[in-house]
Every structure is written in C-alpha cells, then in structure tokens.
Chains A and B, each alone.
Chain A
Amino acid sequence: MFNHILLQTPVPRDLPLDLPLPKEVLIVLLVFSFLLHILFVNLMVGGSILTLWSQIKGLKDKDYDTLAHEIAETITVNKSLAVVLGVAPLLSINALYTVYFYSANALTGIFWISVIPLVTVAFLLTYAHKYSWKVLENNKSLHISIMGLSVAIFLFIPLIFLVNINLMLFPEKWNTIEGFAHALTLPNVFPRYFHFLLASLGTTGLFIFWYFGRKSYDFESHFTTLTRYEIRKKAYSLTFGASAAQFIIGPVVLLTLPTKGFSWHLIFTIGTGVIFALPAMYWIWKGITGKAEDIANNFWKVALTLGLTITFMGSGRHIYRATALAPHQKLVEAKTIAYEKEVKKATEEMKNAPAEKPASDSPGETIFQAKCSACHAMDVKVVGPPIKEMVSIYKNDAKGLHDWILKPGKKRPDYPQMPALGLSEQEINDVANYILEQK
C-alpha cells in the first residue's frame, strides 16, 4: 500500500541557512582539497600493498625485506597526512551537498561509522608492523600477517566511501536501497573501485621512483644486491602498467555511470585529462627501455602531466556530479522555499489566532492545567499525589504548600522527585489557592 510512496524520488528540504561562501569558491575548495587528500590516500594504500608484496618476496631475497621496511616507513607518515587532509573536503562536501551526503551516510549507517574503528585498527597495525621489524625478525609469518590484515582493511574501506559517493548521486534510489550490501550493487561502485586501486598503484610507483632516487638517500648503506636503477625501473614499470590498465578501466567507469550526468563538458574535460596522460606514458616508456643513467630524465615532466591528468579527472568527477544532481537540486530548492513560506505562514497564524481561551476563568486553574496536570490529577495518583491528598496535607498550611511549590523535593521513596517550575510569586499563590479550594 505504501509502494507508490516508496517508488517516488524523495525530495528533502535543504537547511534554511545560507552557504558559508559563494558556491563556486566552495566547489574549487572541494575539488582541490579532495585531490590533495586522495593523493595521500593513494600513497597510503599503494604503499601498504607494495610493502606486503615486497616483504613476502623478501622471505627469499633479503634486499626486498629491506625495501619493504623502507616503504613501510613512509606509510605511517602518508596515512597521517591522508587523514588530516581529508578534513577540508569533508567539510566542503558537508556544506555543499548537505542533503545528498548525509542521506547516503545514513543509508549505509553501520558501515559508514565502522570506517572509524576499522581505520584506527589499520593504523595501529601499521605502527605495530613498523616498530616490530626487529622483534619479529624470527617470526616473519606473524609479522607479515600484521601487514596483511592492515592491507585487507585498507582494501575494504574504499568500498564504503565509493558506495557513499555513488549513493549520493542517485536520490531516486534512496527510498529503495536497503543498507550497504545492497548499495554495493549500484552499477558504478566496482569499476570505480578498480579505478582507484590502479590509481593508488600508479601514484605510489611514481612516489617510489622519486623517493629512492633522491640524492640525499644513502642507497648503498641499505641494499646489498638491488640497485637504485632496478628499484626505480620497477617503480616506473608499475606506474606504466597501472596507467595502461586505466585506459581500459577508465572507459568502463564512464560507461557504467547512469547517463543522467553526461554532458559535452564532461567528455571534453575527461578527454583533456586523457590527452595529458599520453606524453607521460611515452616518457615513462622511454625511461624504462632507455639507458640506465637516463631513466629519470623526464621524471618531472611525467609528474606534471600525470598531475594535470588527475586534476582534469577530478574536475570531471565533479562535473558529472553537478550535472547529475542539478534537476534534483532545483526540486530541493523549490521545496525549501515553499516550506519556509509555510513556516512563516503558520507562525503568523499562530500569532494572530485569537488568544486561546484560558482553560478556566480562574488563573490558578489555568496554571494548574499547563504546569501541573501532567503529573497531578484530582482523585488518583498519576506521577505525583492527587489534589485531594494535597488538600488533606496543606488545608491549614497555605504557606507550607507555597514553599513546597517554590522549592520542591522528594518526600516519598516510591515517587519520583518533583521538579521546580519557575513560577512567579503571584503564580504560586494563584495555583496554591486553586489547589486548596478543591474539596
């Protein structure tokens, strides 16, 4: 019988408070602070996966264990930056997309809040792993399992965020979605998930390429057989492979998005991003296949062009959202305005309504109805004793009744305490008189 309501797209109202800054400013802040945040998230997730991989490989080749240790040192720094940099985009999306973001959060409730304990545990595990390298030297399986668990958590968390980010785009599903597992089936969740994982690996490859290439980094004191070139070549190859795979998964992400958010503007933005990625791919390829001493020749150009690609992709992401939500936002705005009008009207009506007839001509009775009748009746105990009992106690002690109402307390063990009512002296006298008049 309620199906007709469930099938409608819910149109909530927005909060009746102005945006704190012009919308365009908030959008710029949102897009750029998010890119900064996701960069460190990528490094945290990618770094953890590579640490795990390298440490397992390190069981046979000691140098890979060292490599794992060196990468692990960076995770604990990157993860702190990832969290703190997440605050600004969270703040901005809360302000800009209040209704959409909170609705998606609520619809995946338990999973949404479980981000907090899960990430906390993953962080503690990364510290446990980093600081127990020596202690657990002879118990590698345990040591590697610690990282394994941490990686497992890091691989799960993005799904929660992606479900939320997806769900906020589709108000038409809000009435029918039943929790997190159901929302996972939205068509765009998993393509975006793999898109994110590949981005993490690609970004981390570039980071490692830079990290182990620094002049100040004393490579030879750490590694015995692995060379700087070998690690850098592997890192570059990872970035190349992950980015090449994006050429396949990227179109899948785009095609699985519902068409409601498509526009030429979007295609143009994403296309520009792809174009910037092409020379980067070429330079990386040249680095990998060229001479050892030339591998880093085009590194900063690669970082810049891929940085531009990511910026265009991040903007495309916003453009899709803006286009997809625009019609619904209009409905929300109209509904909010209409609602505020009704609020004003109802408030006016209440003000102008003929003053409600007092419950009685006697002021004491009126006060009693408003302030006392919730707990006291004439003949029976409600919360406190009945009026009849009051009369029997105070019939010759009007002052006693007055003092009690002024500063009530608890007299009877099986009754709750009476609260103070904040009545004026006149009101107390009126209500006390009214009570004592009842026989």
Chain B
Amino acid sequence: MDFPIFHLDFMGDRLLIAIIAVLHVLINHGLAVGFIPLVTWIEYLGFKKGGKNAIVNNEWDQLAHRLMTVAFIITTTIGAMTGVGIWFASSLVNPASIGSLIRVFYGAWFVEWTVFVTEVVLILLYYLSWKRSLVSIEAKAKHIKLGAALSIFSWITMSIIVSILGFMMDTGSWVENKTFIAGFTNPIYIPQLAFRTPLAALMAGAIGLFLTKLFTKNGSSFQQDSSKKIALWMLLMLPFTLAGALAYYFKIPELMIGNLPVAVGTMDFQSWYDLLVKFIIGALTTVLLIAGTVYFKPKLKIPTIVYILPVIGMLGFAGIFERIREFIRKPYVIGNYMYSNTLRKEDYPLFKRDGVLAHATYSPVKEVTEDNKLLAGEQVFMLSCSRCHTTHGINSVVDKFENMYSLKAGEKLNGDLMKNYIKHIENARYFMPPFPGNEAELDALVEYIKHLQEDGTPIDNPVTSMR
C-alpha cells in the first residue's frame, strides 16, 4: 500500500525469506546456542584430563578447538549475515510487517543488540585467544569461563528473539492495549523457549558427533572416548527435546483457535501436522539409535556416512517446526493485527468501501474502468495476493485455481465461479485473508487471472529486474 512493491515472480517472495531464515535458525541453534556449551564442556574435559605435568590433555583440547573453528567461521560469516539478511529480506517483502514489529519491539531489539555485541566480542576473544590460553592453568581456567559466558550470552540472544517470533504467532493482549510488555509476554513465549533450548543442544550434539568422527583417527581410543561423551550429551538432551516437542505439538491447535475462524481439520494443516509427528519420531529415533550405539557399544565400527543421519534428522526436525510456525500464524503475519498480505485488519472496512486501489500510493490507477481493467487487475493482484502467490512460478495463482477446479489441460477458468469463491475465500480456506477490495476490483482481479491463464508472461516488475 505505502511502499513500492518488490515481487519475485518466479521463486515467490516467501521463499526468499524462508531460505535466509531457515539457514539462520539452523546455524544459530546448531552451531551457536547449542554448540558453544558443548565445545566449552569438551574443553573442560580436556582441562580436567590434563594430568600432573600438562595444562590440558592435548587431544581433547585440540578437538574442542577444531570444533570451535568450524563454529567460528560459519557463525561469523553465514550465521551473522543471514541474521541481517532476515531484516533485509523482510524490508523488501513485508515492509509494513517488519516496520510494525520494530516499532513495537525496538526496546527488546536494542537490548538484543547489546547482548549481541557482547556475544560477538566474546566469540572473538574465546576463539582467537585459544592458543594463548595454553600457557598456564590460570589462563586456561579463565578461557573456559569465557566459553561459559559466551554460552550464556548466545542463549540470551535466542531467548529475546523467540519472544518476537512468539508475538507474530499470538499477539496476546497487545492488539487491545498495544504496550511493549503485553507483546513481550505473549502466551507462547515460554513453551517456545523451553522447546528451542534442548533442541539447539541436540542439534549441536548431532553436528558435534559427526565432526568428531571426521576430526579424530578412526578406531582410536580417543575417538571412542570423545564420541561417547558427545553421545551422552545427546542422550541427556533427548528427553527434554521430546517433551518440548510434544508440548509444542499439543499447543499448536490451541494456538490456531485464536487465529482461526474455523476448527482444525483441513487437509493443508493436517498434512503438516501429520508430517510433524513423523519428523518427531523419525529424527529422535535416529538420534536415540546412533547416540545410543556410540555410547553403549563404543567399539562397534560405524561408517562415517551413518553419522550424517542424526544431523540431517535434526536439521529436518528444526526446519519442519519453522515451517509449521509459519503456517499456523496464517491468515495473519502479525496475529489478529495484520493479514499475510500485509494489510491491516482494521483497514478492511475502508478498503471494502473505497477499494484498495484508491489508497495504494504507487498504483498508477486508482479506479477500475473498462479501459484499464487488466492493469487494475494486475495492481490488485500485486497489492492483495503477491506476498504469497506468483503468476506462473512457485505457488502460482493460476495453478491454484486450475487445481481447485480440477481443470483438464486447455480448459478455461470460469470467472463467475472465481468471483464467488474469492468473495468467500476466508470461509472456504481458513488460512487465506479475506479479499480486501470492492466489487469492481474483484472483477478486475478475476479478469487479470483469466488473462494470465491464457498468456504465460509473468509480471515485469522494474523493482526486481536487474535494471
């Protein structure tokens, strides 16, 4: 409405955010929040095993250092940049939504920033002073404390951002009183945090076990000892992750009721919900089997490839939770305040009265006429559909209609049916926002989609072309 529209008409705008965000979450959980405490623990074990004549046991210390090298390089490049990337992508795709979140959460984000700066300074100190810490027992003990401090700060960063994520799903009492505290203490904050904490630790364990297999000599007793410790770490985190996942799983339907006019039970949700169970069982069983074998039968030879399974399992597990989190907040992008088309719920009466075009700053047409119908239709599409749908790419609006009406190749869309459908779209598909515009705009939109079906050209958007 108030911003020039950025639209990727092949991959879809949501995928842009999804790729960056999922990558960030996986790195944040798997290589920072859960991983740093694991590395610090291994470093501590090496310190304890140092014996009388040495400050540390070299094998253990080197393993900890190598694991930290991986974490350091990835978190300070891809990890850091995808974190910024979520903001960059959101400012393009959902400016109204990210802008509103920043207005509400500026304080939290600012505190987050100070924690974040501390975290970066600590990670630089921790990693870059590793070699210098080997000069004395005191220096090493201090270095391990640095690791512990870094672990705590990594966790605090996550715990703040989880509040904002929770807010987007369930705005709690914020919609009524619009205060910062009301937003910050939204009802799913604690369940999410309780789930993400052991999840991060378990992901880190899976990655750590795999890397240890790569970094140590095959069949050596050190490989067995160190892998056994990491397996123990995983086995300890497993029940907490399971409990957190189940709590979250059973909380989801409850969360949705707040958002949805209808009860759970549609195909789209059910298929995600069923898939979630499969991922919970599948990933955690894999972890249990492999960590259990490594722990109880350390001498058993397992090929390296098998060690990848828990990593894939855990990454998939975390990924599917993010996908569901995205899904269950529909039809809103900010619960009960802003629909996923980034139009505010409270603005709908005005749009219904005047149409969306009349209030769209950048639309070259403000009113639908016989002459501008297609152009107006394209604008209506860009304003009310394009945040989630493309013309012919991923999640294409044409495909959606063709599939829904089970059209055979060559069959044309029926405009009257589409109009009636879009008019009641929020009743037929609970995850869709209601159509915001007036009758004439609905008419133009349908004309435009019909035109799209016949004409395969995607939208040429000056904003997203390489000009």
Q: What CA separation (Å) do A349 and B353 show in the bound complex? A: 9
Instruction: Across the interface, name the chain B residue whose C-beta is closest to A183.
Output: B467
- A87/B2 in contact, CB under 8 A: no
Cβ-neighbour of B364 out of A6, A17, A127, A179 (below 8 A): A6
Given known pairs A415-B406, A422-B262, the reply for A106 and B6 (CB within 8 Å) is yes
Binds B, one of A225-233, A294-302, A370-378: A370-378
Q: Does A256 contact B (CB under 8 A)?
A: no
- B347/A116 in contact, CB under 8 A: no
Interface residues of A in 105-132 (CB under 8 A from B): 105-107, 109-110, 112-113, 115-117, 119-120, 123-124, 127
Interface residues of A in 52-86 (CB under 8 A from B): 76-77, 80-81, 83-86
Given known pairs A174-B4, A383-B404, the reply for A19 and B361 (CB within 8 Å) is no
Q: What CA separation (Å) do A342 and B348 show in the bound complex? A: 11
Q: What CA separation (Å) do A81 and B99 show in the bound complex? A: 25
Instruction: Across the interface, name the chain A residue whose C-beta is closest to B401.
Output: A383
Binds A, one of B76-84, B205-213, B221-229: B76-84
Binds A, one of B45-53, B89-97, B316-324: B89-97
Binds A, one of B116-124, B239-247, B386-394: B116-124
Q: Does A10 contact B (CB under 8 A)?
A: yes
List chain B residues, Cβ under 8 A from A13: 1-2, 361
Q: Chain A nearest CB: distance from B301 CB in Å?
A: 32
Among A18, A98, A109, A371, the one with the most B-chain Cβ atoms within 10 Å of its Cβ is A109
Q: What CA separation (Å) do A87 and B403 show in the bound complex? A: 44
Among B82, B87, B350, B364, the one with the most A-chain Cβ atoms within 10 Å of its Cβ is B350
Q: Does B136 contact A (CB under 8 A)?
A: no
Q: Does A209 contact B (CB under 8 A)?
A: no
Q: Chain A nearest CB: distance from B282 CB in Å?
A: 25
Q: What CA separation (Å) do A383 and B76 show in the bound complex? A: 51
- B463/A419 in contact, CB under 8 A: no
Given known pairs A15-B99, A17-B103, the reply for A370 and B267 (CB within 8 Å) is no
- A374/B428 in contact, CB under 8 A: yes
Among A12, A20, A178, the one with the most B-chain Cβ atoms within 10 Å of its Cβ is A20
Interface readout for A401-429 with B: 1 if CB under 8 Å, 0 if not? 00000011010001111011110000000
- A94/B265 in contact, CB under 8 A: no
- B81/A5 in contact, CB under 8 A: no
Q: What CA separation (Å) do A373 and B423 show in the bound complex? A: 10
Q: How many residues on B have C-beta within 8 angstroms of the other chain's C-beta atoms?
A: 86
Q: What CA separation (Å) do A112 and B427 show in the bound complex? A: 38
Q: What CA separation (Å) do A374 and B428 show in the bound complex? A: 7
- A102/B124 in contact, CB under 8 A: no
Instruction: Across the interface, name the chain B residue whose C-beta is closest to A12.
Output: B2
- B466/A110 in contact, CB under 8 A: yes
List chain B residues, Cβ under 8 A from A410: 267
Interface residues of B in 107-140 (CB under 8 A from A): 107, 109-110, 113, 116-117, 120-121, 123-124, 128
Q: Which residues of A contact B (CB under 8 A)?
A: 2, 5-6, 10-21, 29, 76-77, 80-81, 83-88, 90-91, 94-95, 98-99, 101-103, 105-107, 109-110, 112-113, 115-117, 119-120, 123-124, 127, 174-175, 178-182, 339, 342-343, 346-347, 349-350, 370-371, 373-375, 377, 382-383, 407-408, 410, 414-417, 419-422
Q: Which residues of B contact A (CB under 8 A)?
A: 1-6, 16, 20, 73, 76-78, 80-82, 84-85, 87-89, 91-92, 95-96, 98-100, 102-107, 109-110, 113, 116-117, 120-121, 123-124, 128, 178, 180, 260-267, 344, 346-347, 349-350, 352-354, 359, 361-362, 364-365, 403-406, 417, 420-421, 423-425, 427-430, 462-467
A–B pairs, 29, beta carbons within 8 Å: A10-B361, A14-B2, A17-B103, A20-B103, A21-B106, A80-B123, A81-B120, A81-B124, A86-B84, A91-B102, A91-B110, A95-B103, A95-B106, A98-B103, A106-B92, A116-B82, A116-B88, A120-B81, A124-B73, A124-B77, A174-B4, A343-B350, A346-B353, A347-B350, A373-B420, A374-B427, A415-B406, A419-B429, A420-B265
